[in-house]
Structure 1
Amino acid sequence: MRLLLTSAGIRNATIRDALVELLGKPIAESRALCVPTGSYPFPGGAEMAGRLIRGQGPSPLCDLGWKSLGILELTALPSLDADVWRTAVREADALLVGGGDPLYLSHWMRESGLAGLLPSLPDTVYVGVSAGSMAATTLFGETYPEPPRGTGTPLSAEHMVFPTPDGGAERTFVTARGAGLVGFAVIPHFEHEHHPDASRDNARTWAGKLLVPTYAIDDESAVRIVDGAATVVSEGHWKLFDPAS
Structure 2
Amino acid sequence: MKFLLTSGGISNDSIRNALVDLLGKPISESSALYIPTALYANPNGPAMAARLIRGETNTAPFPDGFTSMCELGWKSLGVLELTALPSIDEKCWLPLVKETDALLVEGGDPLYLCYWMRQSGLADLLPELGRETVYVGLSAGSMVMAPSIGEDFVGWKPPTGGDRTLGLVDFAMCPHLDHHDMPDNSMANAEKWAAGMPVPAYLIDDQTAIQVVDGVVDVISEGHWKLFTQE
CA deviation string 1:67-96 (max 9, x = no partner): 000000000011111233111101110000
Does the 8 Å contact 2:104/2:137 carry over to 1? yes
- Of 65, 77, 88 in structure 2, the residue corresponding to residue 69 of structure 1 is 77
Which structure has more strand as a fraction of its residues?
1
Does the 8 Å contact 1:8/1:220 carry over to 2? yes
Residue 154 of structure 1: aligned partner: 161
- Of 100, 103, 113 in structure 2, the residue corresponding to residue 105 of structure 1 is 113
1:132 and 2:141 matched: yes
Task: Count matched residues.
Answer: 222
CA deviation string 1:213-239 (max 9, x = no partner): 111110000000000111100000000
Consecutive unaligned residues of structure 1, counting only runs of 5 or more, are 156-175
Residue 227 of structure 1: aligned partner: 214
Displacement of 1:150: 5.3
Does the 8 Å contact 1:9/1:128 carry over to 2? yes
TM-score (ref. length: structure 1): 0.86
In structure 2, distance between residues paired with 1:19 and 1:149: 30
In structure 1, distance between residues paired with 2:143 and 2:159: 14
Please tell me the root mean square deviation across aligned C-alpha atoms, in Å: 1.5
Displacement of 1:149: 4.8
Consecutive unaligned residues of structure 2, counting only runs of 5 or more, are 58-62
In structure 2, distance between residues paired with 1:94 and 1:83: 19
Does the 8 Å contact 1:103/1:152 carry over to 2? no
Quick one: higher RCO (CA 8 Å, sep 6+), 1 or 2?
2
SS in 1 for 2:84: helix
Which structure has more helix as a fraction of its residues?
2
Residue 102 of structure 2: aligned partner: 94
CA deviation string 1:58-117 (max 9, x = no partner): 442110000000000000011111233111101110000001011111111111110110
1:210 and 2:197 matched: yes
